[in-house]
Each structure stands twice: as C-alpha cells, then as structure tokens.
Structure 1
Amino acid sequence: MTHTSKTFDLIESLRANGDDFCIATVVRTADLTSAKAGAKAVVTRDGEIHGFVGGGCVTGAVKKAALEAIRTGKPGVVRIRPKDQVKSPVDTDGSPLYKSSCPSGGTVEFFLEPMRTARKLVVCGCSPVAQALVSIAKTVGFNVILASLAKDHAEISGADHYLDGFGLEQLDIGPSDAIVISTQGKKDREALRAALCTSAGYVSMVGSRRKIDTLKNTLSGEGKISRERLADLHGPAGLDIGAVGPEEIALSIATEIVATLRRPDRLANDDQEAISC
C-alpha cells in the first residue's frame, strides 16, 4: 500500500469515527528542504502526525499550526522559514509565519485544511422550547443531543442522540459546543451543575431571572464551580428579540448560540484548560 493510500484510508477512518483532524499539504518549497510540494500529512486532534512533510525541525510548527486550524476551523496557508528570516509572526500577505531551526535554511509553505465534526448542542429537558430548539438547531448543522430522563425521551423527536440523565462528562464537550437547560423544574440544579462543569463555549438556561439567580447562588455556595464560570451562564436564554411562544424563544436562543460561538474573542480563548468540578 502506498503512502498516499494509507493517508486517505486514515482520513476515511477518522471521518467514520467522528474525529477532528487537519490535512497538511506542502504547496511550495524554497532552497533545501526534505519535503517536496505535494507531500501530505494528517494531524489528529491529539497532535499525532501521520505522514511526512519534513524533518523534526519543522514538524513542531506543523503540529502547532494544524492544532490551531482544528481549533478555529479555518483553513489557510502557513509558512515555515529559517528563524533568522522571521521578524514577525505574520507574513506580508497575512499568512502565519513559524520559525525553523533547520541548518539547510529552507522554506516550506503548507496549506492546512481542518476537518471538524459538527458542533454539539446539548438540550437538557423536554419542554416545548426544547423541542423547537432541537428542530432549529438541526437546520443550522448542529449535532443535537437530548439529555433528560429516559422516560421523557419520547416527548422530543429529531435529536441525533439521546442521553439518559445529565452525565454530560461522557460527551467530550468542548469550547465550540453549546448546552441549553430547559428542564422546567425537573432536576434544574443537577442539569445546570453538569453543564457548567463542561468546557462548553455557550451555556444558557430557560427560565426567569429570579429562578436562575437563585440556582447560581446555590451552586456558588457548593464551592465546586468558580464565580467566573457561573458568570458565563446566559440567563434567561436567548437574545432579546421580543420572542413570544416556544418557536420564537428557540429562535432567539439559536441566534445567541451562533453569535457567541462565532465571536472572535471567544475563539482566541479556545485553548483554555478543561473545566473540572
């Protein structure tokens, strides 16, 4: 089996497993380099490099740049040059620049193509707002997970996956994912605690401000969740668009989710350490 065949087989395997990864392709070289144009490698989200795109003096930069591309979801060109030629982290055309310590003094230009699975939206609860939000989120491209007691699952249709209870720690939730609590008095505190103990980039709760403030104070008193994390909670959920009825409320929530997850300053903090409770 050729190297190229192995690379494409790995890509298919990663896609089938729903894993995030990045394809790094050498598009141009200058002076002496061990990798040539057309060489490819796959970088997995845990930083493993499969394939050959250069020696050890460039693979560190490839790994760093590829993980950044996976984090942001943005494809683009990056260049690796001898360290004495790098005066800025960004080239004149806006492409990121990385330093190389290779004695050969070569320059390598890569195109990075991140492949990410759909962002997750976990909807906790089986309220009318929850049903409407599941429907809207599917059209936006979210992988929707409904978390509630198993006996209530039949009340909500259209989710991609169903979770019995609120054991959200098993879902591998990250900063590009969202969680909405719409439990209507059924294990509100348990669901909210579980949501805030994840690294989700967006967490909100449907309910009155008084109810949400009471729950936040209770969780704060437990001492397991930081004040900073409690302050991340959007509540009441949704942008103020004068929404009336479950469908409009769900629309306001979906809009707030997209606005929050697309915000540039949030992307800059995606490499935060995982939250633990």
Structure 2
Amino acid sequence: MDNIDLEVLKTCSQWLASGLRCELVTVLKTWGSSPRPEGSMLAICEDGRVVGSVSGGCIEDDMIDRARREGLNRVQPGIVTYGITADEAHRFGLPCGGTIELAIEPLSPASQLGELLRRLEAGELVARRVDLQTGAVTLSTALPTQSMQVSSSALVTLHGPRWRLLIIGAGQLSRFVAQIAQGMDYAVTVCDPREEYRDSWQVAGVELATGMPDDVVQAMKLDSRCAVIALTHDPKLDDLALMEALRSEAFYVGAIGSRLNNQRRRERLAEHFDLNEEQLGKLHGPIGLYIGSKTPPEIAISILAELTAVKNAVALPQAANVADAKRELGLPPTGEVCIVSG
C-alpha cells in the first residue's frame, strides 16, 4: 500500500508518460483550521482528474473547474492563496478569515519524478528542491530530522519514510499492521526467525529480517522516530527484543496479550532484565485502544491508532486504554480475545 504522497508522484509520472500536462500542488502554510497539514500534495491533470488532497474538497473543485475551462497554462512555479477574505473563506469552506497557501508547479520530464521514484523505491529519504524562479529541480539525500522549507526563491519538500516500525512476528495480524503502516509513511521491518512463518510472508515493500529479534533491534539503532510492536506471544522471541527496545529512544514499544500476560511480562522484564520503572513505563500492553476490535484488521487499526496518538503527543483518556476499559466493563484479565500473530 503506497502512502498518499507516493500515489500522487506515481500518478504524475504516469500522466507525463502519456503526454498529458499536469501540475503538482503542495500546501505551504495554513492559518486557522485546516483539514490537510502542511506538505500535503495534490496533482491535477489537464483533463480535470486529481489525486491527493489539499483541502476538504472545495479548493480541489475550484482547481478542477479552472483546469477544464482554462487548461493548465502555467510555465513556472507560483504561490497562490485561498481564503484571504471572509467571502472567499465561506466559498472555499475555510473558517472565516482562514487562509491556505499553496505552491503550484507545472511538471515536465525535467521535474525528475522518475529519478525521485527510483530513489524512493530504494528506501531513500529524499529532499526535492524546486527553484521557484526557474522551475529547476535538484534531488539530495535528506535526514529524518529535516522538514519542508519554503522561501521566496525555493521550495524543499521531503519524500520517503521518515518513521520506522519494527514488527516482531510474521503472522496474520502482522500483515495487516504492516500494510496499514506503509500507507502511513512508515518503513516497515518484520522480524521472525521461525522458518514456518517467514516463508509465508507476502507483504510487498516490507523488509523481512530472519535473525533473533533482539539482535535486529540492536542492529536497527532505534531512535526517536522508531516504534516496536511485539506480536508473537512467545517470551523467547519478545522479551529480549522488548528489553532492548525499552532501553532505546523508540517513541513507542508495545506488545500484544491479555492483561494477565502483560502483567507477567512486566514482572519478567523487571526481575530478569533489570529494567527500571521509567523503562517499564514505556511499554504499552495490552496493546492498542479499546474499540471492541475482534478481527485482525480491527486489531491492527486499534494498535496503530494508539501508536499514532503517542507519535503525535496526544493525551488519551484513561478509558481508551484496553486494560482500563475492560476493567470498567468487568471483564476478567484472562480469556480475552486476541489474535495469535505467530
């Protein structure tokens, strides 16, 4: 599953290959409420087709109408603004007085989309610089800590995964977590030393590691843009890896299992691996948010929803926690529904 930005770039490349004119639109800045964050992209074709989004749909409708009536005649990149006045804000569905600033870039073979896609396919994080005066494009390797930059002379956007996710276990649940996470712009690694599980792994775009999970955790050199999810239910695979992950800078570390199993896991980690209270406090388990999930896809959504809340520093109510929610419902700590991931 491609993330939205990659889908936009691939579609632009296909339109150009078909001899169609198209433009790439990037959100530079917003004031007030906005449905799409800075850096969001949209591509528009001369026949009015669009992919991606820069608003809730109202600005897209205006661009489609203009493309069909006037064609795409822009020669150089430019910056346009929607919603300066209250009337425009109402017309385009923006909050009264709200503003959204967009860069519009006419694309051509010189836009280097083919080279960009090749480097993204190789897993590289790429900075794409567009000269706003000439339209010239240059590509360079970027750092995860970089962010989009815009000035009167140039626009620099980042492309490629800036977040990494390690999934321990190559079972059924892991496949759904990996697929959704790729669409969320994570570079996903699945680790499973068990031949019977890794031989049936079939998720494209995911790196498959066959070593012991704790060795893989160490080799990845986890930083603050990394997350680790243990899904095997096997302490021999999970515990050592969790120990290493909890001692790292990973922003999220979680493990599947019932409340009772997670309590036992915490006791093992404290007793045998000498983790302190602060390190143990980083462990999320039972993993995910309580949404009544039963099937693997629902559980994957629950897990990634919690991971996203932590990533975005959103403080969730205690009732959203699986353990607290089930305790409030009077459910026993054993016999809870869970999907064996491997």
Which range, TM-score by smaller chain? 0.5 to 0.7
Distance verdict in 2 for CA 1:231–1:76, change over 3 Å: same
Contact 1:24/1:43, CA 8 A, preserved across alignment? no
Distance 1:118 1:137 in 2: 12
SS state at 2:145 partner: helix
Specify the alignment match of 1:169 in structure 2.
Answer: 218
Matched to 1:177, the amino acid is C
Contact 2:142/2:158, CA 8 A, preserved across alignment? no
Deviation at 1:231, TM superposition (A): 0.6
Distance 1:26 1:220 in 2: 55
Matched to 1:137, the amino acid is A
Distance 1:226 1:23 in 2: 43
Distance 1:202 1:141 in 2: 16
Aligned mate of 1:249, from 290, 295, 299? 299
Q: What does 1:114-263 correspond to in 2, within 5 Å?
A: 114-115=158-159, 117-151=161-195, 152-158=197-203, 160-164=206-210, 165-166=212-213, 167-185=216-234, 187=236, 188-222=238-272, 224-263=274-313
SS state at 1:247 partner: helix
Deviation at 1:41, TM superposition (A): 11
Distance 1:136 1:123 in 2: 13
SS state at 1:170 partner: helix
Deviation at 1:235, TM superposition (A): 0.7
Deviation at 1:175, TM superposition (A): 1.6
What is the TM-score of this pair, normalised by structure 1? 0.56
Consecutive unaligned residues of structure 2, counting only runs of 5 or more, are 1-115, 316-342
Specify the alignment match of 2:29 in structure 1.
Answer: none
What is the RMSD computed on CA atoms of the aligned residues? 3.8
Matched to 2:209, the amino acid is L
Distance verdict in 2 for CA 1:42–1:123, change over 3 Å: closer
Contact 1:127/1:184, CA 8 A, preserved across alignment? no
Distance 1:113 1:234 in 2: 33
Percent of residue pairs bearing the same amino acid type: 22
Distance 1:156 1:202 in 2: 24
Specify the alignment match of 1:32 in structure 2.
Answer: none
Specify the alignment match of 1:104 in structure 2.
Answer: none
Distance verdict in 2 for CA 1:44–1:247, change over 3 Å: closer
SS state at 1:179 partner: strand
Distance 1:226 1:140 in 2: 32
Aligned length: 199
Deviation at 1:198, TM superposition (A): 3.2
Distance verdict in 2 for CA 1:18–1:43, change over 3 Å: closer
Specify the alignment match of 2:337 in structure 1.
Answer: none
Q: Deviations over 1:183-232 (max 9, x none)?
A: 12252312322332332211111101221122222222345433212211
SS state at 2:249 partner: coil
SS state at 1:204 partner: strand
Q: What does 1:42-121 correspond to in 2, within 5 Å?
A: 45=143, 70-71=144-145, 74-77=147-150, 113-115=157-159, 117-121=161-165
Specify the alignment match of 1:5 in structure 2.
Answer: none
What is the TM-score of this pair, normalised by structure 2? 0.47
SS state at 1:184 partner: coil
Distance verdict in 2 for CA 1:232–1:20, change over 3 Å: same
SS state at 1:203 partner: strand
Deviation at 1:180, TM superposition (A): 0.8
Matched to 2:170, the amino acid is C
Distance 1:194 1:126 in 2: 20
Deviation at 1:42, TM superposition (A): 6.3
Distance verdict in 2 for CA 1:115–1:195, change over 3 Å: same
Contact 1:23/1:114, CA 8 A, preserved across alignment? yes
Q: Deviations over 1:129-154 (max 9, x none)?
A: 22322232233332221111141202
Consecutive unaligned residues of structure 1, counting only runs of 5 or more, are 1-10, 28-37, 46-69, 79-107, 266-277
Specify the alignment match of 1:54 in structure 2.
Answer: none
Q: Deviations over 1:54-95 (max 9, x none)?
A: xxxxxxxxxxxxxxxx426x42458xxxxxxxxxxxxxxxxx
